[in-house]
Amino acid sequence: MNWSRKLINPVIDKEFRLRMRSTRSMLSVLLYVLALGAIAMGFIYLFLYLGQRGPQRFDPQTSQMMFYVLSFAQLVLIAFMAPALTAGVISSEREKQTLSMLLTTQQSSATIVLSKLVSALSFMTLIVLATLPVYSIVFLYGGISPKQLISVFVFYLFVMLLLGSLGVMFSTLFKRTIVAIIVTYGTGLIIFLVTGLLYLFFMGIEQRNMYVNGQSPVPGSYSWVGYLLGLNPGGAMMSLFNPSFSKDVFLLYGGSLNSKAPVELWLEFLLVYSVVIVFALWIAIRNIRPIARRKRKDKAKDALPPEQEPTVSGA
């Protein structure tokens, strides 16, 4: 039995061939790895040679800090690249007038949408995995376990799936690719930036009420503001690095050393945005065939009895 024919349908096979075998794809991987490598080399140079105390020793604590810098830098790069790869997968077919031919094939709407999404995210996954040699610098000096590295890369996959699902959804809702890309970037800006700013704003209000007005918090209580940072990818990834970060974000008042946060930030991020991913893919699958929905409405209207049909009054 040929499993490749069952797992790879014609749509995803075509996307793999067009996306993976072009010169632009090769250059994209090269430039991406060079950019992350430049960040790593820049961090080493700044720390070792431009420190306030002169040349310093690269110890495991510094290696851990370098891992954090690389992880957040790659998260920002993913936020820039994932929408550009997915926001035009459907609208570009519509602009080239090939979407109608694609819809006449035996592939279902779900197969078309998911195949487009998987092909785009596969290329992004290839780029992210290509940066593993850069992360190997961290393991030379210690401070990071392989479990942390694996958890961060799994988190990257989830963020790519989130941004990719939103990109595919907007690609089906808007006819022009440029509009879909702009809206996807705007939504990503809300997820990455606005949620963090809201957390800082309401956290400032909470601290002002606690210190300026002399309010004494109830022992064992926590602030609801931490839930806002759980919607931010940076806060969720930071909770993967430091398990106590979630408790500090929720301001657990009067808690002991064994006290835990109401929910881990990374777990809240996965739960909330899993619902968003499913909802976005459902909208994309539903809206990729607008003509079919129109026909069903027309059939339902034709099935109405004559006395229930809407009447149009003439002038």
Query: What single-letter amino acid sits at 224?
Result: W
Which pair of tokens denotes residue 50? Answer: 């431009």
Which pair of tokens denotes residue 243? Answer: 């398990």
State the average pLDDT for the chain.
79
C-alpha separations of 9 from 16, 65, 148 in Å: 11, 43, 35
Q: Positive or negative CA dihedral for 126, 128, 132, 134?
A: positive
pLDDT at 267: 92
Domain ranges of the chain: 23-289
Q: In this structure, are residues 128 and 153 in contact, taking their beta carbons and an 8 Å threshold?
A: yes
C-alpha span between 283 and 278 (Å, rounded): 9
Could you read off the pLDDT of 147-190 as tens digits, one per residue?
A: 888 999 999 999 999 999 999 999 998 888 899 999 999 999 99
Return the ∠ at Cα 290 (arms to 13 and 282), rounded to 5°: 65
Query: What single-letter amino acid sits at 111?
Result: T
Q: In this structure, are residues 285 and 109 in contact, taking their beta carbons and an 8 Å threshold?
A: yes
pLDDT at 315: 35
Stretch 31-48: mean pLDDT: 85
Q: In this structure, are residues 84 and 181 in contact, taking their beta carbons and an 8 Å threshold?
A: yes
Q: Phi-psi bin for 218: left (phi > 0), alpha (psi -120 to 50), beta?
A: beta
Most confident listed range (18-32, 44-58, 81-95): 81-95
Non-local (6+) Cβ contacts of 283 within 8 A are 169, 172, 173
Stretch 5-30: mean pLDDT: 72
Most confident listed range (75-79, 115-119, 241-245, 286-290): 75-79
Nearest alpha carbon to residue 277 among 159, 172, 195, 196: 159
Query: What single-letter amino acid sits at 125?
Result: T
Residue 194 per-residue DSSP state = I
Residues in the chain: 315
Q: In this structure, are residues 258 and 220 in contact, taking their beta carbons and an 8 Å threshold?
A: no
pLDDT(58) > 80: no
C-alpha span between 179 and 181 (Å, rounded): 5
Could you read off the pLDDT of 103-155 as tens digits, one per residue?
A: 777 778 888 888 888 888 888 888 889 988 888 888 777 778 888 889 999 99
C-alpha span between 305 and 276 (Å, rounded): 40
Non-local (6+) Cβ contacts of 205 within 8 A are none
C-alpha span between 16 and 29 (Å, rounded): 15
C-alpha span between 87 and 19 (Å, rounded): 15
pTM of the model: 0.82
Nearest alpha carbon to residue 273 among 203, 181, 197, 195: 195
Residue 310 per-residue DSSP state = P
pLDDT at 313: 44
